């Protein structure tokens, strides 16, 4: 086991939990994608200004996943620019959150175009578009779309989606309901 480096979130430093070293094979390693079983998934990425560095760190550590040809990414305004710069090759850029980007993603969730949302919210800052943020979260709940609002829940979500078997289950479950 190896100790992960300290993370900086919202100006605070904290120690990450102990993580296990992964081989290049296995259920979560880079060699774990089975192209024959993998179905296309679309994930929305959003980060408030105070959390954009955390989002960049998050995607940089998972570029092997986010750059798979069967993984589509959409993002709000500046977040999309940052994650493109971080190395995600294909990003559908939407409006900035305060200018309607959160509402655009909520509409895509309601139309069942998005399979998961990762939204690094800054809970310690006021946001002029708070109603749009609450609406997005409500729409995710109504349409049973996974919503990760912090680094650890996003990590768990992506680790789960790394398995082609889980993606097939998710797609099948959505069509049976």
Residues with a catalytic annotation lie at: 102
| Residues β-bridged to residue 53 | none
Provide the 8-state DSSP code for 149: -
Could you tell me which of 62, 39, 70, 67 has the C-alpha nearest to residue 164? 39
End-to-end Cα, the chain, rounded Å = 41
**Contact status, residue 171 vs residue 161, Cβ threshold 8 Å:** no
DSSP string, 25-73: SSSSSGGG--TTT---EEEEEEE-GGGHHHHHHHHHTTHHHHTSTTEEE
């Amino acid at each position: 086991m190896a100790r992960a480096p300290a993370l900086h979130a919202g100006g605070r430093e904290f120690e990450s939990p102990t993580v296990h070293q992964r081989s290049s094979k296995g259920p979560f390693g880079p060699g774990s994608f089975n192209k024959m079983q993998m179905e296309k998934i679309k994930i929305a990425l959003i980060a408030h200004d105070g959390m954009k560095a955390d989002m960049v760190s998050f995607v940089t550590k998972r570029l092997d996943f986010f750059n798979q040809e069967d993984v589509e990414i959409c993002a709000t305004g500046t977040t999309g620019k940052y994650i493109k710069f971080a190395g995600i090759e294909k990003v559908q850029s939407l409006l900035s959150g305060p200018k309607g980007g959160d509402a655009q993603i909520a509409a895509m969730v309601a139309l069942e175009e998005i399979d998961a949302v990762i939204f690094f919210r800054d809970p310690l800052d006021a946001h002029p578009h708070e109603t749009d943020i609450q609406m997005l979260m409500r729409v995710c709940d109504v349409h049973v779309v996974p919503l990760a609002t912090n680094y650890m829940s996003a990590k768990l979500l992506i680790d789960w989606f790394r398995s082609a078997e889980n993606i097939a289950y998710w797609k099948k479950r959505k069509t049976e309901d």
